[in-house]
Structure 1
């Protein structure tokens, strides 16, 4: 390789730069980079300035020998490279991966990675940083900045790092860069924040509230705009009581999460042909798909199909809701009036669920303090079944691949599945005294 050294003065001192010239035209420089950057890419941790020309030549020769210098590559801006890498509709990497292993990278995952990179990594990277110039220090600066800010969990910071590490690994495989700078980045330990769970009585209260709201309506306090009597020109609001009535969908979605541990995306994707009626007491749902706003219908998390037991009365209500679907040929249970191709937005039943929490005694401050949300219904299901059924049966119904994953959620045959249903039924069941007191009261499935 034809090259020569130059010195450039920056701030208070001078830096050696190596310039690689075109063998066909010595006046044309193909690549120019800092010798100290080359030293870092070689893995040398020495931070002392390079002041001797001989030392600079030794570093350049070593970099050439180890393949760090590649004049045949195209210069790529790192931020543009990563942004293009996670562009689901145009990424060559994603297209190839999904050809080799269908659905291995979903649009929701790609959008998540792209959003994490643009929101958290991009502001902490030099805008003119080229792909071949990226070092472990660049990545660790992003990590250190995010950790020092203290706004993100370690798990979120790890996701930001992943948004860069996957593209860098591919660039190394394609030999666009000589070595992966991630090799020098310290790992980040997970700081898992334990999610809270509900009591069975709290879930019962929420279900009763949502059922009542869907059948006879409830009174809720909301802010309403009132006349600007003070002539301030600003909108005036006052709390007022309103009679509110919704569809059965929030009640049915919450019931499924509570009685089966299904995820929100799995609930949205439910169709009538997934429901099998077994006897007067139970039905069985085949959970083999989920729905995401970006990826649309997709396989479940972990790409595993499972069966879950459901009270027969709830199955009947789900099928009844599916019959109300106004779109010919559509089998969505949680259908949307606006679109025959998409189920209802998850925000609809999530909003109703949080409102029900508020009116049954768990306000927003308490909810956040306990770290509970809609997904906590799944944790509650898992935690309450732990010890009542075998670990194998629990993993089969919840859809976990390992006992370790079931541990994180804890504070076969159709007969086995229905046996689990019996345990769940007992868990939520009323005592005989409760039954007598409530026999004239409309609750849940009666």
Structure 2
């Protein structure tokens, strides 16, 4: 049993409550007149050893600082100490350590201190807080069970900074030194990716951590957070890993640049990849999908283009008139909502074989652009007189609407994991059955940008001719609406 309790008062000074070891009654409740807990604790031990020092009143004091009347208080028992969500076995282990350190025993009756009749709820709460503070301050990681220990973290210059602000600022160009370093090393920053990372903060970090600061984080708390997202929120492993990356990259960057002393993300394991494969439509479903005229002809033509070339949604949106030839398309641009026009994924510019009738329909559509020129967008938006393209999300909506019309509901589409990117998998499946794998990889852009130089050689022209023959045969196997109606 402790001979005193120390709690912090409203004015910031610590109060000392001395306890009679025989009766368990509080015999002194006095301010230590210091905001330093260590100093207040030293003073309390002096009072226990030498007796209570006299109080000198100041003329400005309105209230007497004499000792308050004695009050009885019950000591905290095994299951009454609220230690941050610990299990009963962990609390018991902690109490046993306290008992061992301070020479008291935990009786079966839980009567460490006698309970007086005039105990109030406020007294009990005060005593429990004092005992909890003492326990957490005195017990070190070496004394605790392994499940209770955690890795301490010094946030350095980020002490006191909110977790949400720390991550958001890192993924914001105007505030992040990471942007400057990447640009200095001539590495591109994907604005869409950074926007996604900032969205992770709003969706998951803020609801869980609120106004918690960076220096309050521990490896244990972070690990519980990610497990909570997977187990309680039911997020996919890929989504949890994105949330994990949103913090792992900043901590690693600042630790590497000596802005923080250690990385609390060290030891956090990534979650296993989901075993979900992208679904694709069957040939019969593709034929049904393109056998009628869609309400929006641009969306239909965009989906046809993706189905027969494997182009990505952003690459379709960024297509320009000058990129279209009689039987092929030069894919050298991509479009995203955040970044606007940029290079294709991993800078993989490439040629793709395209059925001649689709190329003709694309050229006809481009000529309807109010700002028609050799460099104008094919899938132009009415905004800014056609100087910007239709956003990639439009092609996704168009596909969903058309699938509904052929009897594939939204629920079925989600269950089969079918989206606009499924066209790329559909094309890859069909073309890989008919040409060599190396040729298929070139068409899909799975090589570095330097491989596109090969298409200038005579051998590559022969490959292109072979692919054209294969695509012509493939095109005949799927009966679709005549393209002139779409244009």
Give yes or no for TM over 0.5: yes
Please give the residue correspondences for 1:97-176 in structure 2 after superposition, counting only pairs within 5 Å: 97-102=182-187, 104-125=188-209, 127-130=211-214, 132-176=215-259
2:333 to 286, 289, 293: 289
Q: Which residue of 2 aligns with 1:271?
A: 320
- For the Cα contact (< 8 Å) 1:139–1:161, is it kept in 2? no
- For the Cα contact (< 8 Å) 1:108–1:292, is it kept in 2? yes
**Bigger CA radius of gyration:** 2
Alignment CA distance shift 1:366-1:133 (3 Å) = closer
RMSD over aligned Cα, in angstroms? 3.3
* Corresponding position: 1:346 with 2:431: no
2:461 to 411, 414, 435: 414
Per-residue deviation at 1:83? 1.0
Counterparts of 1:300 and 1:201 in 2: how far apart (Å)? Answer: 31
Alignment CA distance shift 1:147-1:74 (3 Å) = closer
Long gaps (5+) in structure 1: 1-6, 11-26, 30-46, 60-65, 214-244, 278-282, 403-411
Q: Which residue of 2 aligns with 1:312?
A: 356
Alignment CA distance shift 1:252-1:165 (3 Å) = same
SS of aligned partner of 2:352: strand
Counterparts of 1:69 and 1:198 in 2: how far apart (Å)? Answer: 53
Long gaps (5+) in structure 2: 9-34, 38-92, 102-136, 144-150, 449-458
Q: Which residue of 2 aligns with 1:91?
A: 176
SS of aligned partner of 1:162: helix
Q: Please, what TM-score do these two structures have when normalized by structure 2? A: 0.63
Q: More deviation in 69-78 or 347-356?
A: 69-78
- For the Cα contact (< 8 Å) 2:160–2:213, is it kept in 1? no
- For the Cα contact (< 8 Å) 2:153–2:263, is it kept in 1? no
Q: Which residue of 2 aligns with 1:302?
A: 346
Alignment CA distance shift 1:124-1:401 (3 Å) = farther
**1:39-92 per-position Cα deviation (integer Å, ceiling 9, x unaligned):** xxxxxxxx9688678975999xxxxxx997687776433221111111234433
- For the Cα contact (< 8 Å) 2:152–2:218, is it kept in 1? no
Q: Which residue of 2 aligns with 1:443?
A: 482
Structure with the higher fraction of residues in strand conformation: 1
Counterparts of 2:159 and 2:180 in 1: how far apart (Å)? Answer: 21
Alignment CA distance shift 1:72-1:180 (3 Å) = closer
Please give the residue correspondences for 1:19-58 in structure 2 after superposition, counting only pairs within 5 Å: none
What stretches of structure 1 move > 6 A for 4+ residues in a row? 7-10, 52-55, 70-73
Give the total of aligned pairs: 344
Counterparts of 1:71 and 1:313 in 2: how far apart (Å)? Answer: 63
1:376 to 419, 422, 430: 422
Counterparts of 1:302 and 1:318 in 2: how far apart (Å)? Answer: 26
* Corresponding position: 1:428 with 2:478: no
Counterparts of 1:352 and 1:179 in 2: how far apart (Å)? Answer: 49
Per-residue deviation at 1:445? 5.7
Per-residue deviation at 1:430? 4.3
Counterparts of 2:251 and 2:156 in 1: how far apart (Å)? Answer: 18
- For the Cα contact (< 8 Å) 2:357–2:483, is it kept in 1? no
Q: Please, what TM-score do these two structures have when normalized by structure 1? A: 0.69
